[in-house]
Structure 1
Amino acid sequence: MALSDSLTILSLALAAEAAFGYPHRLYTGIGHPVTWIGRLIKGLDRILNREARSFGERRAAGILALLILLAATGLVAWALELLLLPLGILGLVLLALFSGTLIAQRSLHEHVAAVAKGLREGGLDGGRSAVAMIVGRNPRSLDEAGVSRAAIESLAENFSDGIVAPAFWLGLGGLTGAALYKATNTADSMIGHRTSRHEAFGWAAARFDDLVNLPASRLTALLVVAAAALHRGASPRGAWRAVWRDASHHRSPNAGWPEAAMAGALGLRLAGPRVYGDVRVEDRWMGDGRAEANADDIDRALALYRTACLLLFALATGSALLTWIIVR
């Protein structure tokens, strides 16, 4: 696929997904591409991840599972491109609608906004119930500030791997590139954990996900810094300073970049020690502001997020126009 086509598809996909999201009726009727990918991952896990095998054998099985997943996902997406590209503008529009299902701007905003609403209308219990839908940590361990920080951290991290990363690979590789990324990211979220069952089998998925998220996490941080420059009360200098100082100290090679940028922009401290299930994780703080976040800070983060999404759309659209000019 020509770069001009893939960037055009990206611009249209971002606009369509922001406007309409993924209709609930469609989800209940046929599911979602991520749920389809998830079923394949569950099947591969059930068939290939045998507990009787050695650690090395299970790691090799995990590599095989990832290759099968990527091959199956890539072939379906590539077939759709071959089918639709010859249709010209109509084909690009249809590919954009398919591609938009792999981006989550609207749903991320709705889920994080629900946490602020939960805190305001239902108090701490309402906030805990809402934040439990988007984070893996134990909600019972969170006070109001912890709930608010968790929501903002989830917003920052998922802006990177739920929006910027699939957009990045869509712009470079069309629907096939975005689908391959989404398959990798879904595999990491399902089997890329250091548990007794998945430490070996999920190793390949986790390491490959780290690799493919590297460029998007850095781009996300730059988008947040740029968005902060457009918001009164946000600090682009603070965002850049936090990224430079703190991002590399996060336990994830990628999550620290958007989290540090968001923390510095809003004058907050994010990440830090937290509890997953019954396990306390001693992570470094991102940012050097106040830790006592609240629902108003969630609103501030969402405003910054909306601006960063607009900047991403502008970048995609400008790049598409530039490539069309060069081609002509």
Structure 2
Amino acid sequence: MRIALFTCRSVGIACVASVTDAAIGYPQALVRRIGHPVIWIGRLIDRLDTNLNRPDLSPARRRANGFVAAGLIVALPTLSAMVLERLVKRMLPRWLALPVTALLASTLVAQRSLHDHVLAVARSAEESLPAARHAVSHIVGRDPELLDEAGVLRAATETLAENFSDGIVAPLFWMAAGGLPGAVFYKSANTADSMIGHRTPKHEAFGYAAARLDDLVNLPASRLSALWIILAAATMRGMDAGGALRILRRDATTHRSPNAGWPEAAMAGALGIRLSGPRAYNGVNVDEPWVGDGPATLRPQALYRALALYRRACLIQTLAGLAGLGLLARGLRRH
């Protein structure tokens, strides 16, 4: 019974957090005044990187230190979140504790932020290529000055698909599994990967543990995100749910990432376009396989369609969470 109550509460927090983030997001004024949870986690990662990843250490020692760092990166914020959630439950009445916890948890979801950043790319692409390059530079790691219009739009679409999984579905999944601490656990692991999980001379050894942990914690969400995209396509005129499933089966596992290929393949198939392919990072050309069968020469309208698909997939995820919450509540009433 206690486990069922905990699960019901956690799913409720995830549902309220999803709606809250979609409605108001995380205000930029708040970012300027107090920062953001990801920024706070990033400071911890920076300090560990400086102290445990010194160039005078051997690769073997740095790799071992990377495991220690990965443990600290997820443990310290998660324990802090557990203390904070317990304080909220003790200090506030039950009817108020859940929405306050959900409000705190909503800061770890990026539905509105991702949408607004990608929308800015679509609008900028209608104005000029330099404006589009500038807009996309805020959300991708590749060299924007080397991208033509189609490259900018593909990069934005890929980012939309990938971050739907690791910026929205994954934190909500772990939130539903473990409440606020679950979401903080995930966000800590994901932030560590984004900061030190790179195959570069500096982080090849030290970031190994963070990269493998991120692959593991993102595995369920990547599959779920593909499912939400396929279901969204099935409910929208002009989208190809069958194509999304076909491209998913064929191309998801050929992607450079064991997880990002799932939502990216589903989105490419649903929209009838090609994504991924050759690109440049830090001046280095990388020959990646294409995902999808359609045209690779995209126009701004393709990105608007991708955003519409993304909004519907977010809605379907929230409705699925509410349906799950209803089933859990019904089961509790029976007992």
TM > 0.5 fold call: yes
Show the counterpart of 2:34: 30
After superposition, the C-alpha distances for 1:82-111 in whole angstroms (9 at most, x for unaligned) are 112343121101110011000000000000
Show the counterpart of 2:85: 81
Return the alpha-carbon distance in structure 2 between the equivalents of residues 169 and 71 of structure 1: 15
Q: Which runs of 4+ in 1 moved over 6 A?
A: none
RMSD over equivalenced CA pairs, Å? 0.8
TM-score by length of structure 1 reads: 0.98
Q: Which residue does 2:18 correspond to in 1?
A: 14
**Separation (CA, whole Å) in 2 of partners of 1:274 and 1:197:** 22
> Which ranges of structure 1 fall in alignment gaps of 5 or more residues?
none
Counterpart check, 1:208 vs 2:213: yes
The 2-side partners of 1:69 and 1:136 are apart by 23
Give the whole-Å Cα distance in 2 for the aligned partners of 1:159 and 1:141.
Answer: 25
Q: Give, as a single letter, the amino acid of the residue that structure 1 aligns with 2:117.
A: H
Which of 282, 286, 304 lines up with 2:287 in the alignment?
282
Structure 2 residue 275 is matched with structure 1 residue 270? yes
Measured in 2, the distance between the counterparts of 1:286 and 1:221 equals 14
Matched position secondary structure for 1:275: strand
- How far, CA to CA, are the matches of 2:214 and 2:21 in structure 1? 23
Matched with 2:244 is 239
Q: Aligned partners of 1:326 and 1:93: how far apart in 2?
A: 22
1:106 counterpart = 2:75: no
Deviations 1:7-65 (A, max 9, x none): 00011000011000001111111000000000000011011111111111000111101
Map 1:172-211 to 2 at 5 A.
172-211=177-216
Amino acid at match of 2:49: D
Summarize deviations over 1:98-150 as a string: whole Å, max 9, x none: 110000000000000000111112x1111111011100001111111111101
Q: Tell me the SS of whatever aligns to 2:108.
A: coil
| Equivalent AA in structure 2 for residue 30 of structure 1 | I
Letter in 1 for 2:180: L
Q: Which blocks of at least 5 consecutive residues in structure 2 are unaligned?
A: none
Aligned to 2:175: 170
Deviations 1:264-289 (A, max 9, x none): 00000000111112111111111111
Alpha-carbon distance between aligned partners in 2 of 1:141 and 1:89, rounded to the nearest angstrom = 53
Aligned with 2:329 (options 312, 324, 328): 324
Residue number in structure 1 paired with 2:137: 132
CA distance in 1, matches of 2:289, 2:94: 50
Q: Distance in 1 between matches of 2:268 and 2:28?
A: 33
Secondary structure at 2:293's aligned position in 1?
A: coil
* 1:66 has 2:62 as partner: no
Report deviation, 1:318. 1.1
Q: d(CA) in 2 for partners of 1:318 and 1:84?
A: 26
Q: How many residues align?
A: 327
C-alpha distance in 2 between matches for 1:301 and 1:208: 29
In structure 2, distance between residues paired with 1:321 and 1:39: 39
Deviation for aligned residue 1:230: 1.2
What is the CA–CA distance in structure 1 between the aligned matches of 2:16 and 2:255, rounded to whole Å? 34
Q: What letter corresponds to residue 326 of structure 2 in structure 1?
A: L
